[in-house]
């Protein structure tokens, strides 16, 4: 399969855009007219060909541009990458997970050959050709997790399982929706989810934690999370809030369709074999409202979800300034007809 990789930016001049194919395969998260938090975990099994869940790790047309953006963020703020000393086994687990998945699922783009512990990795889109000894850090240009983390889209947080809990002891975080990995480093599952409204009282994190503690190697799971972003900006970290904050008040009824983007996180969780850690990938997909509404069913569904969204969630997700503008933009597209359950575009 060939992918035409785009040259685009997720900052400054924001030249990002989605091709029609990319729009169609977008991970639209709303299967009903109202949204509330739930333990919406499901097995991460092979999905429809061409869909964002066809493979364990999704590579799309934004791959090269996103890797470039990741590099910019890491150069500016190296603290976006952290790996505590006891996580070295997990670092190698990650190298294996990513290299094996990508080479198996995208053979025209990635190649992995092994001769015992002598591995040869080729990443064509990023023009990387690397031989190394699996398990020997000195044979790679940087730490194994950083090495492979820079070659895959999205954020990855690796959780050490101990004390009947999960701890964020390793991570590469450059596309987060307003949480600080430097601040949250070392926190437990319930702690880093501390600010989320309602979900704790609903027992969602208790149940999710118990489920994750029992996750097995070979049976990964996934779920979707969502928010909105003004401009297709990936790095919406609190660290850089002074940079992207002003965008939140720059939305007008005229530009709302173009500027406001639905931001969906595909979260996949994998048990890692040698370290027994859990790899938590947070893969971010962006789509402008004006692209989204080219599918009328999505326009209607999004309108209804936004209209009925709980005020605490509006506030927590940072939508306050332009929430009504989005509703006004979508309202004319909603004829009120029942569209049934499901996230499909048509």
Partner 1 sequence: MQRGYWIKSKPNYNTLSWRENTLGHMLIAQGEGGLALVKLLQQRCPVQPLKVLFSGEKYTDILNGFIPEGIDVFASDEEMLCELKSQLSECLMGTQFYVAGDEAFIWKVMDELAVYGVQERDVEKELCGTIARSVYCVHCKTIDKNVHHNIHLCSYCNRYLFVRDHFSRRLGAYMGVMVDAEVPGDIPARQEIYP
Partner 2 sequence: MTTLTVKVADVEQVTDVVKHFTLVPENGELLPHFSGGSHIIVSLNINGRIHRNAYSLMGSTTEVDSYHISVRKQENSRGGSIYMHEEVKPGSILEVTYPVNLFAINKMARRHVLVAGGIGITPFMSQISDLNRLGYDYELHYAYRSNEHAAFREQLEEMCGDKVYFHVDSEGSQLDLKVLLSHQLLGTHVYICGPDSMVKALHLTAKDLGWPENHVHSEQFSAPPMGDEFKVKLVESDIELVVPSDMSLLEAIEGAGVDAPFLCRGGACGRCELEVVECDGQLQHNDHYLSDAEKLAGNKVMPCVSRARCSQLSLKL
Binding site for partner 2 (CB under 8 A): 38-43, 86, 89, 93, 160-164, 206-208, 210-211, 214, 216-219, 221, 273-276
Closer to partner 2 at the Cβ: 211 or 241? 211
Closer to partner 1 at the Cβ: 45 or 321? 321
Q: Least distance (Å) from partner 1 to the CB of residue 242? A: 5
From partner 1, partner 2, none, interface partner of 273 (C-beta below 5 to 8 A by class): partner 2
From partner 2, partner 1, none, interface partner of 197 (C-beta below 5 to 8 A by class): partner 1
Closer to partner 1 at the Cβ: 226 or 316? 316
168 binds partner 1, rule: CB under 8 A: no
Total site size for partner 1, rule CB under 8 A: 30
- Which region among 8-16, 91-99, 145-153, 236-244 touches partner 1 (by CB under 8 A)? 236-244
List the one residue from 103, 190, 276, 324 that touches partner 1 (CB under 8 A).
190
List the one residue from 248, 255, 276, 324 that touches partner 1 (CB under 8 A).
248
- Catalytic, 25? Answer no
Binding string, residues 255-294; x marks residues near partner 1 by CB under 8 A: ----------------------------------------
Closer to partner 1 at the Cβ: 143 or 184? 184
Identify the CA nearest to 94 among candidates 164, 143, 28. 143
246 binds partner 1, rule: CB under 8 A: yes
Q: Which of 24, 223, 274, 297 is catalytic?
A: 223
Closer to partner 1 at the Cβ: 80 or 301? 80
- Three-state SS string over the chain comes to CCCCCCCCCCCCCCCCCCCHHHHHCCCCCCCCCCCCCCCCCEECCCCCCCCCCCCCCCCCCCHHHHHHHHHHHHHHCHHHEEECHHHHHHHHHHHHHHHHHHHHHCCCCEEEEEECCEEEEEECCCCEEEEEECCCHHHCCCCHHHHHHCCCCCEEEEEEEECCEEEEEEEECCCCECCCHHHHCCCEHHHHCCCCCCCCCCCHHHHHHHHHHCCCCCCCEEEEEEEEEECCCCCECHHHHHHHHHHHHCCCCCCHHHHEEEEEEEEEEEECCCCCCEEEEEEEEEEEHHHHCCCHHHHHHHHHHHHCCCHHHHHHCCCHHHHHHHHHHHHHHCCCCCCCCCCCCC
List the one residue from 42, 129, 315, 328 that touches partner 1 (CB under 8 A).
315
Active site residues: 223
């Amino acid at each position: 399969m060939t992918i035409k990789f785009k040259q685009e930016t997720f900052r400054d001049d924001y030249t990002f855009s989605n091709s029609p194919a990319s729009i169609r395969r977008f991970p639209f998260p709303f299967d009903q007219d109202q949204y509330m938090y739930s333990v919406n975990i499901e097995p991460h099994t092979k999905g429809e060909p061409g869909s964002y869940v066809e493979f364990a790790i999704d590579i799309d047309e934004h791959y090269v541009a996103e890797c470039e953006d990741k590099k910019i963020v890491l150069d500016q703020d190296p603290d976006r990458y952290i790996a505590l000393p006891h996580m070295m086994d997990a670092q190698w687990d990650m190298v294996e997970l990513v290299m094996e998945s990508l080479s198996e699922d995208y053979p025209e783009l990635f190649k992995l050959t092994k001769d015992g512990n002598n591995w040869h990795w080729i990443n064509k889109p990023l023009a990387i050709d690397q031989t190394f000894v699996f398990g020997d850090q000195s044979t790679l240009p940087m730490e194994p997790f950083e090495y492979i983390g820079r070659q895959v889209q999205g954020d990855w947080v690796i959780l050490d399982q101990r004390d009947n809990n999960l701890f964020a002891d390793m991570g590469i975080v450059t596309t987060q929706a307003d949480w600080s990995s430097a601040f949250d480093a070392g926190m437990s599952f319930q702690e880093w989810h501390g600010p989320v409204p309602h979900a704790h009282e609903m027992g969602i994190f208790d149940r999710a934690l118990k489920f994750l503690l029992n996750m097995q190697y070979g049976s990964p799971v996934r779920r979707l999370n969502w928010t909105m972003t003004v401009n297709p900006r990936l790095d919406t970290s609190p660290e850089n809030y002074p940079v992207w904050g002003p965008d939140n008040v720059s939305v007008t009824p005229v530009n709302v369709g173009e500027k406001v983007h639905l931001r969906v996180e595909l979260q996949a969780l994998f048990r890692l074999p040698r370290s027994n850690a859990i790899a938590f990938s947070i893969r971010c997909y962006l789509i402008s409202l004006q692209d989204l509404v080219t599918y009328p069913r999505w326009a209607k569904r999004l309108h209804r979800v936004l209209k009925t969204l709980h005020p605490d969630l509006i506030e927590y997700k940072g939508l306050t300034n332009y929430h009504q503008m989005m509703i006004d933009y979508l309202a004319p597209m909603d004829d009120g007809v029942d569209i049934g359950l499901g996230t499909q575009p048509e």
